[in-house]
Amino acid sequence: MIMNNKIVEMLHLDLEPVGIFFGNTSAICELEASPQKRNCVIPFVLTAAKGKITSIDENGCNCPGGAVGACFGDGFTRLNPNIHVMLSQGFGENAPAEAPPMLKEGERFFCDAETALKWRNNMPFSDKAYPRIVFAPLSRWPEVGTPDLVFIFANADQISALVTMQGFHNGKAVNTLAPFGAACHSIVYAAEQIDKEEPYAIMGLFDISQRSAAIKDYLSMTMPYKLWEDMMKDLDKSCLTTHSWEKIEERL
């Protein structure tokens, strides 16, 4: 397991990279999702980035999109089968009078429900049936083990470096994907990459409906641990040691 704080220092990250562990049942967690309240996944990731070990199981992951993002299968069908209507133009006059705007008017991410349904049908739902998902900050990975994914909160300058570094050892121009989805959906998209011979990193936090609750000017990058290992190699030869990065460092 590579637990390298050097990249945190070189990128000037304010938040620790977060290891994501699927199926771990032994880690002692300081925050666990309660099934008695509605839980969003990203606050559990953010709490981990600030130093605590957190976890969510399927019962506690009661947000439809969150269940999808945390790899608990097709949470849309189980918890909100009409999600494609809400994500497009809404229910209009068919919505209850007390319904919030997101149901009446829709989020308008798609032109109509049929188009939104295409997006839903192409979602890489996980069928692994993990008992829970654990989030741990880089400094505490030894307490949990080797993560399956690594999730990084970063600003535009830091994201630019991370995207660049993904091609350092393979020479490819396209190493990072930026799929549309809920804030936590970068997790399920990254999980889809784990077993691929040439996996991609996933950018995220694009969900307009949740951006107001996200850290201003920050996006995320989530990657299989294999890509994290590759990125940690030869840091002393990377773009983070150049005059160009030194200029950027002045504003970080």
Q: Could you read off the pLDDT of 192-244 as tens digits, one per residue? A: 999 999 999 999 999 998 898 889 999 999 999 999 999 999 999 999 999 99
Rounded to an integer, the average pLDDT of 172-189 is: 97
| 228 dihedral zone (left: phi>0; alpha: psi -120 to 50; beta) | alpha
Q: Are residues 60 and 142 in the same domain?
A: yes
Q: Are residues 90 and 142 in the same domain?
A: no
Structure tokens at 129: 């049936």
Q: Are residues 113 and 137 in the same domain?
A: no
The neighbour count for residue 26, using CB atoms within 10 Å, is 9
Of 47-61, 89-103, 123-137, 193-207, the least confident: 89-103
Q: Are residues 172 and 60 in the same domain?
A: yes
Q: Are residues 171 and 139 in the same domain?
A: yes
- 201 forms beta bridges with 176
- 207 in any annotated domain: yes
Q: How far is CA 79 from the centre of its chain?
A: 21
| Of 19 and 102, the one with more pLDDT | 19
Residue 201 to residue 177: CA distance in whole angstroms: 6
Domains in the chain, number: 2
- 1 in any annotated domain: no
Q: Is pTM, for the whole model, over 0.85? A: yes
Q: Are residues 177 and 96 in the same domain?
A: no
- Confidence grade of residue 95 (pLDDT, cut at 50, 70, 90): confident
Q: Are residues 47 and 106 in the same domain?
A: no
At residue 4, does pLDDT exceed 80? Answer: no
Residue 152 to residue 157: CA distance in whole angstroms: 13
The neighbour count for residue 112, using CB atoms within 10 Å, is 12
111 to 64, 83, 105, 116: CA distances (angstroms): 21, 14, 12, 8
